Structure 1
Amino acid sequence: MTQELEMDSVIRQRIRGLRLALGWSLDNLAARCGLSPSTLSRIETGHRRIALDQLVPIARALGTTLDALVESGSDEDVVIRPQAGHSQGLTAWILSSEDGLHGKTVAKMRITPERPNGVEQRSIHAGRDWFTVLSGIAKLELGERTILVHPGEVAEFSTMVPHFIGAHEGPVEILTIFNHDGGRAHLHAGDHAVGQAAH
């Protein structure tokens, strides 16, 4: 029962918060959702029970969905506790949830010179990859070029060009964002153990 009351309170806060963010009075929202200003006031203040048939037009008027309005407010999906996945010369931590970031995967990678290198290690997939160097120097092999990326620098490139990220002279740590194809290519295909960290 307490959980239901807490969720009820969260929904009321969201309605009021969205209304105020839009700069609307109760009258403005009432005109858009077909409920009276007094009904909306009682819903926001907790003096009236929230009915599903009221939430649908309210959500629509506020430019959101019913699902978004009633989604859980728990912190379970806020904090991600990444597990390290390992393969030779590579440790990766997946820093995003599977349903977050519109299909993108955020990962922190620690690469050492022991990571296997060579033409057969290069990948090609649709989209673009992006990474920034946190420490050390990354060696980006992109087509026929070798590019050194230093701490604080960012590399963004088409992944239709054969590419490989390695370590130059010592360990390197990077923060990277992959699209769906990039995540599969870099975290699952050749690096089975790293892929396990993503699940």
Structure 2
Amino acid sequence: MVERKGDPDALWTAVDEYIVDRLIPDDHPATRAANAAAGLPDIDVSVPQGKFLHLLARAIGARRVLEVGTLGGYSTIWLARAVGEGGGVISLEIDPHHAAVAVGNLQRAGVAERVSVLVGDAVETLQGLEGPFDLVFIDADKPSNVAYLTAALRLSRPGTVIIVDNVVREGDVLDAASDDPRVIGTRALFDAVAAEPRLSATAIQTVGGKKWDGFLIALVD
């Protein structure tokens, strides 16, 4: 019997490590190491979450993927491998240093030719893009979530999948009185999705090395 008392975060992390050891031998540890060495914040998706994005993109046959929030390119690599040769990922990043680290990681992973990293304010960059995309992954500043959703809808088609990360925030999403802009932006996202007749959606809570959070997943009808 496994001892389950003590710090739940430690147990969640241990389970993540078990999952990775058994099921995800093709993780990209060099990418995460390069991100740490370059001083990037440790806010990438976890390894199981990265593989989840990869499998979902493959399951829907995604060939064009839009990512809002590149950071060091960890999730970007998973998505680029999913679209395969001839597919493409456009990833948006506001920080030039983060983008430069990501480009190096993409090159080392052998998928740079499938990815365009566009540097600048994502809300502005999105205005110049043309769709449709098969999958949109939003993992950037939370106060802009509704703006990103609005752009994603414009760039979608029936059948496009939209995924938004960090929507549970260790339960803070329940706090209607919160003055945290990240919580306010997340709650506004839920309201916008609920009010949009073109979307069928759910949200899934997650625990693991990234503690307690979750994804919102929406299908464009």
TM-score normalized by the length of structure 2: 0.26
Q: Greater helix percent: which structure?
A: 2
Larger radius of gyration, structure 1 or 2? Answer: 1
TM-score normalized by the length of structure 1: 0.28
Q: Greater strand percent: which structure?
A: 1
